[in-house]
Structure 1
Amino acid sequence: MSNSPRLPGTFPPHIADRGRHYFEHGKVREIRETAAGRYQATVRGSAMYSVWLKLDKGLRIQSGGCDCPYDDACKHMAALWYALQAQLETQGVPQPLADLLARSNEAALREMLMKLAEDETVRERLTALLQPEKREEIYQQQIRQMFTRAGYDYYDAMDLGVQVQDWLGVVAQDGDAAVAEALPLLMPRLIRAYERMDDSGGILADAIDSAVELLDQATHENAPESLIRCLDKCLKDDRYFEYGDSGYKLYHIRARIWQQNGQWKAWQKYVDSRLAKADGWDSKFWAMARWQLFQAQGDTAGAQDWFERHLYLPEFRKIAVAQAVGQQNWAEAERLLREGMALAEAEEHFGTLHDWKLQLFALMQQTGADIRALAEDLAFFKGDLSLPHYQAWKATFSEAEWPSEFERLLARLAKNPWLCAEILQHEQKFDLLLSVLQQYANLSLTTLDHFSPSFPEPYHAQVVDCYLTVFDREIAQAHNRKQYRQLAKQLKMLGKRYPDQQQAVSVFAAEIKARNNTKLYRRPALLEEWERVGF
């Protein structure tokens, strides 16, 4: 880390270290600059992952993404950052092109341009730069070529997405006027392709994001009329809202322009039209957008009235709770939270209900209120154990009170053996835990693997007995070679995990081999797999 002072704080140290390891072992492949400051690559981890980063001139990350399951800044993104740092810093600083051109005569420059123009792509770009009046025609032709060649499957979508991002990078380098001509031509074709193609790789969606980002940059000041018309057409097309979140990004761009131009009626008309047909999450977004419009207009009374009428929506209630907490109005904050809990429970929005309970728990801890009932509720919410809330609930009892309360708890959870076992594991009540596992009707190898590591050595023989009981049932139910192979490997691993019980495992394996044919579906296959692992 000390050798890379510019590594963004986005990456926790352990993620950064793993990213560096990936880079140093050559796992970053096919780095490409798809737009100004935007880089894409493939990183080999447990699978091949598509990764992208957008950097500023100081190599600081502005945005990025990866299609791996990790939902935060991941090691694959860190690996790409290290690779880009090495690549960009080792390129050196070339002699300024302006100096080289200044020393060249007109004939040499003309000859050089003619040589470069032998490449069709370069020729089209030079023509667009030298004859701006033909630029739209050239862009139209390039777009037609990209989309005419596109098919419909996964690989077609990948190829088209890469082509579009490369093309957008070239357009961006041609300047704002070029962007104003190119995007209105591209957007209708791009959303139509996204609707029809298999973009499970997400590359075409990235291309749409790149186009929206470029549109955002080109409209920050003095937005060209062509781009405003393009925005308005996109916002009338529901596909931008149905396929991802690009529609909402486009709305924020247009809202900024409406506000800059003081076009309140047009802004209100659009938001109201969206509200009229919105449902679900969509209605929450547009209700919030309408409130923000009131605020932008400076209509304090209208904003307050709208806010109060929409407190049934969690997004508004969260703001109200935050305001009450900020003012240390604890009673109002608790009222808002309890009211929100009642609404969420009535509508069976259990995720929202849980969020309100968590906030209320934090508030009650802060104010010193009695948390026992709420802590218990959160500890076992929806049949899952929350250890921090369980510990907080337990702490509300004295040492003398807890044993009898613990017995009542186990009695209440008798029909939930998994939850009961988790609590016993935490409390290190190994005799009781073993008893629960032995009586667990649906006990599986996976369940045993979850709980068995917590047992100390004196219990190993009994734990292995539990395993062998489950193995006996699993072997009797198995009916193909693949299942026999997996069970043989797992049984072999059991002996290695508990070496002091190796004899019991070997005796069990021998009994299975000697079993009557009628108890096994495919005895020869099982015997072969047993022999393969050494039984």
Structure 2
Amino acid sequence: MSNSPLLTDSQWPKLLEYVAEAYNEVTLSRGFTLFKQQQVTALNVTEARRVQAVVEEAETYKVSLILDKLSLSLCSCPMQSSCKHLAAVMMELADRLGYPATQIMNAKLYLKRAADSNIDSSLKQLPNMDVQGWQHFLNQYASSIKPSYDQGIYVEALRQHLNNLNKVTPDFPAIDSLFFELHKWLFIFRKIKEQMTLTTSSYYTSSTIYRFSDEMLEWLKTKTDTVNPAASSERIDQTLAYVREQMSEDSGHKYHDFGVYTALWKYWITPYSEADRLLIQEQDHLVTLAEVSPSPSVSAARAYILLLQGKSDEAWDALATSSSFKELPAALFLTLLNQLAEAQQWAGLVTWLSKSAPFFNIRQNKKLELYADFWKLAVSHEPHAEEQMWHIFEQFLPHSLAIIEAVLYEQGKWKAWLELQIVLGHDPLHHRVSVLQPIEKESPVLLLPYYHQAVDHYVSLKNRHDYKAATKLLKRLEKVYKKMKQPERWDIFFAGFVERYSRLRALQEELRKGKLMG
């Protein structure tokens, strides 16, 4: 056998990890029996770190153990790999090299005890670790939690396991305890993302990250009053560095970490006096990071930080010059528009709404509705921008039809709203009575064409069901004339109406039932 070291103390745990993963307990027990009965013979090592051996059983089996690539090891038995003969050869080799063969037989138990021992030791050091140390510790602590096809089940398993830390975690300073809790959230978030990149998941599985993200952001919000950056600047700096690193690794256009980043600034940093110093420092970090990372999340973060500094034009330039600008999702702009609105930067909001318009010309009604809400808010403070708003809404047709209808109604532009209803083929029966009541109160005369056209339409269909609808409309039309204090106009119209349709007996009957005729 070669005199060169075949196994070192650093390689031994890796061998045990492979055994724990590739072998079951029954196979290892049978291999240990072969080893103890000295049935492994003719063990030799080649220069390529390949161990050749023979295992004498009822038959003779030849084993080839490849130390540098254990998964490629082979045996001449029917199983060929991960068999009791390979296990016995590993135990024989370990024994000759001075390592306990029993650790191979009990590899899973040994590794668990070793991990527990490391965790116990690390627990005492948690208060002195930086946040990267916390993440490494959490990764080790949760290593026994295996991913599930259902991300929801996996998340709950991680939650429950990490909650056990509450019973054994040493006393932190109050602020460190809060940040350690945050990093438990961030750890689970990272594990979800890792699994999403490794597996093809269903809608229900992939939606887990959005539900979890919403929960985490809500938790950040609830802790706003408990954070003081002046007393926790070191943890703030470390956490921002961690989230920046996560953003730099974003691929595609998911922007999950960007949401965490903006929430951290919104709820934990900007409410305090330390924010100005941190903003200048953060901008430098992001500029440096953008030079080495093409991640769109980093560009979005730069824009957000500039908005926090009141530099809306520079923020737009930072976003527009990124390589992924044309593929940016509408949801990302909503976050940035919201920041402009919260900062009451109304002129900047109008500019951003105009420039980001192409990203909202989509069928996704919810995002388009939110975009329209920002326009309405901006116009309420910058009335001169209303014409620009309507121009954009017209460009969005047909996607914006419902929005145009809603805004016309909200602004009390009754004539334009009623004209749109006629174009859409609606009539007064299409709406609840309460929808038309404000018009009846403010401008009842505008309703006359709407009602008259609808009445003529239903009568022209010439069936009893539509005659009932026409009668219902006539009764409401009579009230409109009374609102106008012009009952005589109603009398003249109705008399002519009855005479014009005097031959439609079914209509006449419905008018009598409706007590419009005696």
TM-score greater than 0.5 by the shorter chain? no
TM normalised by structure 1 equals 0.39
TM-score normalised according to structure 2 size:
0.41
Greater Cα radius of gyration, structure 1 or 2: 2
| Higher RCO (CA < 8 A, seq sep 6+) | 2
